[in-house]
Amino acid sequence: MRRPFIAANWKMNKTIPEALDFMHAFLPSVAGVQDADIAIAPPFTSLFAIAERFVGTNVSLAAQNVFYEEKGAFTGEVSPVMLKDAGCDFVITGHSERRQYFHETDEIVNRKTKLSRKHGLGVIFCIGETLAERESGKTFSVLAAQLAAGLKGVDPANLVVAYEPIWAIGTGKTATTAQAQEAQAFIRKELRSLYGDAADSFRILYGGSVTPENIDGLMACPDVDGALAGGASLTAGSFEKIVKFTRGITP
Ligand code: PGA
């Protein structure tokens, strides 16, 4: 049995007071949840300000991005060492918005992922196909290539994979449970070729318009081990419902 992993990606949302307000409501509301890992990725500016709130709770702090060098003349960048220092346990790498708007290649994602693991950060490593790739039958080849290049030489410990079909992100158009299951079973098969039997213990998250309404169906899929929620994680009540999805449903 894989332990569910439910993560929030706030993207470029919330000031420090807004982040603190969220924690005030959210942390006590999920304090009793003992059968899932929970993580929240606020913007960089809030990390240190809210880190103290996470100490002794069942929720981990995550960053949305990281640079692939430890220190030096890289204006505007933040290293894995700095993220650890600010109180982070996890970092998201390979998010499609980073790939799309900031031209991150598989090689860059790989360097970020490797250096983060070297410094003891857990990594939520994201992959996913565009609508055009899906419609031209390339979904599996795209996912296989992103996995092989992005995870080259990456230590599998504390690594979580997130399948986020780009056409489902922020669009309200969630993948069907059949589409999520099919892609995530494929991802597990690829992980087996990269990591052998360890693939069975990998958490593979689904991301893309996850809501309190569709989380139960997604979590019932055998290869969906969690969720990465964007828009629906911005209010404490909504993210609480996602964390408290109905356990034990079979597809
Ligand atoms: P969304 O974003 O839930 O708003 O679609 C998910 C993500 O990009 O991680």
Reported confidence tier of residue 161, pLDDT bands at 50, 70, 90: very high
Is residue 82 predicted with pLDDT exceeding 90?
yes
Residue 39: predicted pLDDT? 98
pTM, two decimal places: 0.97
Can you give the pLDDT at residue 171?
A: 86
Q: Is pLDDT of 251 > 80?
A: no
Mean pLDDT of the chain: 96
Contacts of 177 (CB under 8 A, 6+ apart): 217, 218, 220, 221, 224, 251
Rounded to the nearest angstrom, the distance between the alpha carbon of 112 and the centre of ligand 1 is 21
**164 belongs to the catalytic site:** yes
Query: pLDDT digits over 203-235, tens only?
Result: 999 999 999 999 999 999 999 999 999 999 999
Phi, then psi, of 6 in degrees rounded to 5: -115, 120
Number of H helices, E strands in the chain: 10, 8
Pocket of ligand 1 (CB under 6 A): 9, 164, 169-170, 207-210, 228-232
pLDDT digits over 28-80, tens only? 999 999 999 999 999 999 999 999 999 999 999 999 999 999 999 999 999 99
Q: Which of 95, 129, 133, 190 is catalytic?
A: 95
Locate the ligand 1 atom nearest the alpha carbon of residue 229 and give its number: 3
Task: Report how far ligand 1's centroid is from the alpha carbon of 206 (Å).
Answer: 10
3-class DSSP state for residue 247?
coil
Q: What span, in angstroms and rounded, lies between the C-alpha atoms of 230 and 224?
A: 17
CA separation for the pair 136, 143 (Å, rounded): 14
Which residue among the candidates 97, 129, 133, 164 is catalytic per the annotation?
164
Mutate to test the pocket of ligand 1, among 228, 233, 238, 242 (most ligand atoms within 8 A of CB): 228
